[in-house]
């Protein structure tokens, strides 16, 4: 399972800069993610789905609000 590279700086729909720390639930709970990865590599579809959900759950995203 290859993890998509996250760009460190993006721009939101209003053109404001957004900083991504690339932190997802798999980073936060890395022991669980590793166990799920090992099961997924052995063909466990449920483990693969749970692992993908961890990768898809972003934990930190910072956005600077425009000044009035």
pLDDT tens digits along 13-32: 888 887 777 678 887 788 99
Length, in residues, of the chain: 68
- Mean per-residue pLDDT over the chain, rounded: 81
Can you give the pTM of this predicted structure?
A: 0.58
| Residue labelled with tokens 């980073």 | 27
pLDDT tens digits along 27-38: 778 899 999 999
CA dihedral 18, 21, 24, 28 (to 10 degrees): -140
Note the pLDDT of residue 3.
56
Mean pLDDT (whole number) for 43-67: 84
């Amino acid at each position: 399972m290859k993890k998509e590279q996250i760009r460190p700086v993006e721009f939101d729909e209003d053109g404001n800069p957004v900083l991504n720390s690339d932190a997802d639930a798999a980073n936060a709970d890395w022991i669980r993610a590793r166990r799920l990865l090992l099961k997924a590599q052995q063909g466990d579809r449920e483990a693969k789905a749970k692992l993908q959900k961890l990768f898809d759950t972003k934990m930190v995203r910072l956005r600077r609000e425009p000044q009035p």
